[in-house]
Amino acid sequence: MSLSVNPFQKGVKRKGLAVVIFGACFVVGGLLFAFAPALLALLLFPIVGEGGGAAIWFMILTLPVGTAVAMFGLVTMIGGTIATLRMKLPTQQEDAVTRNRLLSHRAIALASLLPLSLIPTPIVAFVLTNMVAGGNSGTTAFYVIAALQIVAGGFALYFAIRTKRTALIVILAGVVLLSLAGAYALNAFVVSLETLNSVENL
């Protein structure tokens, strides 16, 4: 069974974590392409002044294409994660090295989905803040995303702990905490904008 994590290795079929990395390349590339005009405008703004804002109009073309590419990458990552989790895990007596590598791959595959969960956070926060009645509707978005992050992050740490690799455990714990903090920060930002808008409309 091939456990290569190089998604571009010739002559080797992509499996497990290699598929996740392959999908991640499309996600990153798609997002960069989608928002490239805005990033370019921000970089050129001090030089060209207000004219740099015209570059944002190019996002009418780049945003749909980049989003489609990123969505393809996301689906590929999810499929690769599921495939990684379904790989047969040998016992310690059968093959301890392969067992630890597969456990590491499972942990990394699950953890790689956590940063992506930050992407829909502003959308979920905006929708719930506007459509759900009640003063606590804004925090519902954080709870929804955080619950998903805790489940995925918990299993990632569980697999990492079973490998007994301290570096992997520490890194993944950091990814989980940063993802939770990011979800909270994005949610708080959207809710603050909505609150400010409500005050201005009074």
pLDDT in tens, the chain (202 residues): 556 677 767 766 778 888 899 999 999 999 888 888 877 777 766 555 555 566 667 778 888 898 899 889 989 999 999 999 998 888 888 888 888 999 999 999 999 998 888 776 666 655 655 555 444 555 666 777 788 889 999 999 999 999 989 999 999 999 999 988 887 887 777 667 666 655 555 5
Q: Would 94 be classed as within a structural domain?
A: no
Instruction: Determine the Cα–Cα distance for residues 92 and 152; give it in Å rounded to an integer.
Output: 25
Q: Would 80 be classed as within a structural domain?
A: yes
113 lies in the same domain as 197: yes
Residue pair 90/151 in contact (Cβ under 8 Å)? The answer is: no
- Does this model's pTM top 0.85? My answer is no
Residue pair 81/110 in contact (Cβ under 8 Å)? The answer is: yes
15 lies in the same domain as 82: yes
Q: Would 141 be classed as within a structural domain?
A: yes
Instruction: Determine the Cα–Cα distance for residues 6 and 22; give it in Å rounded to an integer.
Output: 8
Q: By C-alpha distance, which of 105, 131, 101 is closest to 194? A: 131
110 lies in the same domain as 199: yes
126 lies in the same domain as 189: yes
103 lies in the same domain as 185: yes
Q: Count of domains in the chain?
A: 2
Q: Which domain holds residue 118?
A: 99-202
Instruction: Determine the Cα–Cα distance for residues 168 and 157; give it in Å rounded to an integer.
Output: 9
189 lies in the same domain as 115: yes
Residue pair 122/90 in contact (Cβ under 8 Å)? The answer is: no
41 lies in the same domain as 123: no
Token pair belonging to 202: 């009074």
Q: Would 187 be classed as within a structural domain?
A: yes
